[in-house]
Amino acid sequence: MSQSYELKAEARDRVGKGSARELRRKGLVPAVIYGDKQAPLSIALSYKDVYYKIHGGGFMTTLATIDVGGKKIQVLPKDYQLDPVRDFPVHVDFLRIGKDSVVTVDVPVHFVNEEKSPGIKRGGVLNIVRHEVEFHVPANAIPEFITVDLTGTDIGDSIHISAVKLPAGAKPTIGDRDFTIATIAAPAGLKSEDNAEAAEAAAAPAEAAKKE
């Protein structure tokens, strides 16, 4: 699980586009905390703090504590909006986290031991089907990533979610099938050779028929 962090915030009495624009002029980012059967709380955060957290990686899978006037609230970022031109944050949504909260998050997939894959050694290509997998997980045990071990994989192999050791408590949101995470594809040269061999094999009977 990623290291938690704390952000200072101030409560907002006014909401709306005009209020949000005024906050941004002051170097603040409007945000809202919702969930856990409590009323939504509108807040304002430091632009600098939010910018570096969003662009630092792991923002959506890391719990945070927001200090609102001395009251500390544990949250998980659920959504954010960036300015389409200048790429700076303009709004953030946080989910309030309770003691037994279970959340839905996209967890990155990391691949290891490519050098131990016979297929890749022969020139095969790792074709990543899913760079992230969506899980239901306890809010206090969000994994930073899941690991796919490529040891022993060969050309034509598919790696399914059932082959991956999952963190405790993590359940894929897709539960009705053993979905594919990656495959080891044949290199372009090998595909061309296979196609040529197949074409020759298909043509052989026709040539034989002509000679009869």
Domain co-membership, 150 together with 91: no
Mean pLDDT of 1-5: 74
Q: What CATH number does residue 184 fall under?
A: 2.170.120.20
Query: Residue 139: inside a domain, yes or no?
Result: yes
Domain co-membership, 64 together with 11: yes
Burial 104-140 (b: 16+ CB within 10 A, else e): ebebebeeeeeeebebbeeebebeeebeebebebbbb
Residue 31 has pLDDT above 90, yes or no: yes
* pLDDT range class, residue 178, cuts 50, 70, 90: very high
Domain co-membership, 10 together with 91: yes
Report the distance separating Cα 59 and Cα 144, nearest Å. Answer: 10
92-102 per-position pLDDT tens digit: 999 999 888 99
What integer pLDDT is reported at residue 95 of this predicted model?
95
What's the pTM?
0.74
What integer pLDDT is reported at residue 202 of this predicted model?
54
Lowest mean pLDDT among 12-16, 86-90, 171-175: 12-16
Residue 48 has pLDDT above 70, yes or no: yes
Domain co-membership, 181 together with 148: yes
Mean pLDDT of 181-208: 65
Residue 136 has pLDDT above 70, yes or no: yes
Amino acid in the structure at residue 77: P
Residue 154 has pLDDT above 90, yes or no: yes
What integer pLDDT is reported at residue 14 of this predicted model?
73
Q: How far is CA 201 from CA 52, 195, 209, in A?
A: 60, 10, 14
Domain boundary among 98, 114, 135: 98
Strand order in the sheet with 180-185: 125-128, 180-185, 158-160
SS (H, E, C) the chain: CCCCEEEEEEECCCCCHHHHHHHHHCCEEEEEEEECCEEEEEEEEEHHHHHHHHHCCCHHHCCEEEEECCEEEEEEEEEEEECCCCCCEEEEEEEECCCCCEEEEEEEEEEECHHHCHHHHCCCEEEECCCEEEEEEEHHHCCCCEEEECCCCCCCCEEEHHHCCCCCCCEECCCCCCCEEEEEECCHHHHHHHHHHHHHHHHHHHHHHHHC
Mean pLDDT of 163-178: 94
Mean pLDDT, all residues of the chain: 88
Give 203's strand partners.
Answer: none
Mean pLDDT of 35-54: 93
What integer pLDDT is reported at residue 207 of this predicted model?
55
Q: What percent of the chain has pLDDT over 70?
A: 88
Q: 112 lies in which domain range? A: 104-192
Q: Which residue has the higher pLDDT, 188 or 151?
A: 151
Mean pLDDT of 199-207: 54
Domain co-membership, 117 together with 138: yes
* pLDDT range class, residue 190, cuts 50, 70, 90: low
Task: Provide the domain count of the chain.
Answer: 2
What integer pLDDT is reported at residue 210 of this predicted model?
53
Report the distance separating Cα 81 and Cα 88, nearest Å. Answer: 8
Query: Residue 108: inside a domain, yes or no?
Result: yes
Residue 57 CA, chain-centre distance (Å), reads 11
What integer pLDDT is reported at residue 18 of this predicted model?
78
